[in-house]
Amino acid sequence: MEPVITRKQLEADLTELKRMVLRLGKMAEESISKAIWALKNQDAELARMVLAKDDDIDDLAEALDNACMHFAARFQPLGEDLRAVTSIMHMAVDLERIGDYGGNIAKVAVELADKELIKPLIDIPRMLDVLSAMMSKALVAFDTNNAEMAKEVFAMDDLMDDLEKQIMRELLLLMMERPQRIEQATQLLNVARTLERGGDHVTNVAERVIYILTGKTVKASAFRRPRPATPYAHKEHEER
């Protein structure tokens, strides 16, 4: 008996999975950018909207996970189709996490909405810009099957690290000058750290895109500038 793989049906279902990934990515990106916007503009209303949307993101991630299992059961995929469906399950986790980060930042935004900010926020929105650009690149690369574009995401993560370090230095100085600032400075440090972790998750997504398209497991670090051992080197392992 010849195996009958209905390529047409399989492709239709796979396209639907991809569409769900893109939608999840868009929601996660919106969550985190609105949260930063709310933080910067001390807009508690907007921050609460972000928090209210968190369940929608979780629901979509769960639906995507289920859809992947149905796809695997229905088609018993092999090769690129198998790489796609397993990778999409991983990507769903990464994107959902980024959505959660939006929620975490929104909580900080609510807390700080009626307090005087210890400094105008400049580098944190800048980190967001880089993160958004990374997400957009990773998702377009996924949508258009472009492994080269996915690789471009890796080097952008260097910029995220630079910005985080810059923010850290600045906030440390502010704290040293006036210990009363420690509480808020710590919250802002956490926001920067959260964005930096978001970058790591986007990097995972880009790695997965390359795996789907080429069958090769790539390490983002191979595309990034070499890094000396720093007190923060453990961070990389944490996220693996």
Partner 1 sequence: MEKILVSSRGVNLFYDSARVLKDITFDIMEKQVTALIGPSGCGKSSFLRCINRMNDFIPSARVEGEILVGGSDIYAGGVDVIALRRNVGMVFQKPNPFPMSIYDNVAYGPRLHGIKQKDRLDDIVKQSLVGAALWDEVKDKLKTPGTGLSGGQQQRLCIARAIATEPEILLMDEPTSALDPMATARIEELVRELKKRYTVVIVTHNMQQAARISDRTAFFLMGDLVEYDATPKMFTSPEDKRTEDYITGRFG
Task: Please return the burial class of 235, using the count of CB atoms within 10 Å of its CB with bins 0-12, 13-18 and 19+.
Answer: middle
Distances from the Cα of 238 to the Cα of 46, 197, 233, 235, angstroms:
31, 10, 9, 5
Tell me whether residue 216 or residue 240 sits nearer to partner 1 (CB atom).
Answer: 216
Tell me whether residue 78 or residue 229 sits nearer to partner 1 (CB atom).
Answer: 78
Least CB distance from residue 9 to partner 1, whole Å? 10
Token pair 């802002």 in the structure block, residue: 188
Tell me whether residue 79 or residue 228 sits nearer to partner 1 (CB atom).
Answer: 79
Tell me whether residue 90 or residue 165 sits nearer to partner 1 (CB atom).
Answer: 90
Least CB distance from residue 2 to partner 1, whole Å? 6
Least CB distance from residue 235 to partner 1, whole Å? 30
Neighbour tally for 176: CB within 10 Å: 11
| Helix (H) / strand (E) containing 213 | helix 182-214
Positions that interact with partner 1 (CB under 8 A): 1-3, 5-7, 10, 76-83, 214-216
Least CB distance from residue 4 to partner 1, whole Å? 8
